[in-house]
Structure 1
Amino acid sequence: MKKLDELKHWFADKNKVMIALSGGVDSALVAYAAYQRLGDSAIAVTADYKTLSQEELQTAKQVCSEIGIKQILLDYDELENEEFAKNDSTRCFHCRIELGDHLLKLAKEQGVNVIVDGTNLDDLGEYRPGIEALRQNGIRSPLVETNFSKSQIRELTKSIGLSVHDKPSNSCLASRIPWGQRVTAEKLARIEFGETVVKQLTKIKQVRVRDLNGSAKIEVEKNDISEFTNGVLDKITEKLKMIGFSSVEVDQEGYKPGKINVIAD
């Protein structure tokens, strides 16, 4: 537990801290360590910005309940932000700039002097413009500053008994829409419904339903592609067409984070 002690110690000289908690394993560990060290002076904040699935929102609430930490929900609509909705390669940057603005305003209201997130060492090797946006707002990353890798985070969260320890990594629903194709409420709704249908009919945990100009491309891990047999894909196709998708196919190359960023036309 030496690494956990290091993370707890990071909060030692902090007065009151706010954790941007998404419902994923990374921010869950940060919230746990902060609460263990600071008690009620640690507050978790989850942004319900309309591109977060209800599943993720419920997970975030569950995590806070397990930890015992106070949770505040930030409620706003990213689709009202034209820079976000037009969905070019800077979408994530504009999303995180707006989130940072909301967090800073809330921190002032709550008397919080430090805002933190769940960014870890593994995140730094990927194209993540959102991280830069958060840095510009002064938001810090204890997992980076204490040198945590994703595998160490999962190992620790399992040992302390948090239910999200094996939860697949996720991203906002807008990431299922290629750059250059506008983000709309209608697309987000059918993507969320589509992923729920696939999970229910296959029991696969890691699912992406990409919305490619109205066509659904289902991405799962390569070893899960075999689940789409015995009429399962036909049932999924029927349900997805009912909610507005024009066609449905399974990506035979398998799931790969960020793949869609290069598909945009």
Structure 2
Amino acid sequence: MTATSLDRLVSWFPAGSRVIVALSGGVDSAVVALAAKKALGDNAIAITADYKTLADEELATARKVAQEIGIRHLVIEYDELENPEFVKNDGMRCYHCRTELGQHLAGEAKKAGAQLVVDGTNIDDLSDYRPGIRALRENGVKSPMVELGIGKAEIRRMAKEFGLSVYDKPSNACLASRIPVGMEVTYEKLRKIESSEIIVKSIFGVRQVRVRDHGEIARIEVGRDELGRMFDPEKLDLLDKKLKELGFRFVTIDASGYKSGKLAVVD
């Protein structure tokens, strides 16, 4: 089943074309990059955007997976916080983010002579409220896995079969997604969130982590299967100390665990 799925994905790319793959560092875009490389060889180029709300860990993962695939990899840099529509963090923040990303990718495609720009969106993503997907479509970005009806479980099987280190990597999102809608996005908040999540992972050994910044309160979400690791009194004391040193007054753990889109507002 997995090999057939990858064959379908490889065959999706038009022979002789040149393609830009938006490589985020997650498993979905990694599998698309793998298929593009198999289909088009050196005519496949992976691009990762470092837009100042991407965690350093994600950028490092993108570099690593590009090396595993053997695909040419470029990192482009720009600053999302220069966009006031993004910074105000209303319900359309992701739309503004992805509009800017789509425009940058289109520019890179033009420079490279690429006819296609693709991303890792899959059919399971369509069940959530994701205005960012609409923004990418409006800027000409295509999603092969949506067109082929491929979902997350199948993607992970393909990634594992072909030895990609991200095959079981937890899903992630930009650091701004940890800031509640209506609260302004700032460099200070982003760095505090990133540092907090590194601390949580290092103390408790958990993999799926979100530190939601509610002003004075840090609300920590971890995967439900990892919640049991969070209730070591000595480790909790250390966590409380470390996060208060970063500027939080109160440190809480969300008893319901991590769930995608908890801070999203659907109109």
Provide the TM-score with structure 1 as the length reference: 0.97
Q: Is the contact made by 1:115 and 1:139 (CA closer than 8 Å) also made in structure 2?
A: yes
Q: Give distance in 1, aligned partners of 2:41 and 2:151.
A: 25
* 1:202-241 mapped onto 2 (5 Å cutoff): 202-228=204-230, 229-241=232-244
Q: Which moved more, 1:233-242 or 1:178-187?
A: 233-242
Residue of structure 2 in register with 1:59 after alignment: 61
2-side partners of 1:132 and 1:110: how far apart?
Answer: 24
Match of 1:77 in 2: 79
Q: Determine the C-alpha separation between the residues in 1 that align with 2:216 and 2:78.
A: 26
Alignment counterpart, residue 97 of structure 1, candidates 82, 96, 99: 99
In the TM superposition, 1:74-223 aligns within 5 A as 74-223=76-225
Match among 223, 241, 246 for residue 243 of structure 1: 246
Q: Which runs of 5+ in 1 are unaligned?
A: none
4+ residue stretches of structure 1 with deviation over 4 A?
Answer: none
Q: How many residues align?
A: 263
Deviations 1:86-110 (A, max 9, x none): 0000000000000011111111111
Q: Which residue of the partner structure matches residue 45 of structure 1?
A: 47
Deviation, structure 1 residue 262: 4.8
Once residues 59 and 245 of structure 1 are traced to their aligned partners in structure 2, the CA distance between those partners, rounded to angstroms, is 28
Query: How far has the Cα of 1:14 moved from its partner?
Result: 5.2
Q: Matched residue of 2:167: which SS?
A: helix
User: For residue 202 of structure 1, what is the amino acid of its counterpart?
Assistant: F
SS in 1 for 2:81: helix
Whichever residue aligns with residue 12 of structure 1, its letter is: P
Contact 1:14/1:114 (<8 A) preserved: no
Q: Which of 32, 47, 52 in structure 1 is aligned with 2:34?
A: 32
Letter in 2 for 1:233: L
2:91–2:265 Cα contact (<8 Å) kept: no
- Identical amino acids, percent of aligned pairs: 55
3-state SS of the aligned residue for 1:231?
A: helix
- SS of structure 1 residue aligned to 2:8: helix
Give the TM-score, by structure 2 length: 0.96
- Cα deviation digits, residues 1-57 of structure 1 (max 9, x gap): 111100000013351000000000000000000001111100000000000000000
Give the aligned CA root-mean-square deviation in angstroms: 1.1
1:241-261, Cα deviation, whole Å (9 max, x unpaired): 111112101011111111122
- Aligned residue number for residue 15 of structure 2: 13
- Cα separation, 1, equivalents of 2:16 and 2:87: 36
Return the letter of the residue paired with 2:157.
E
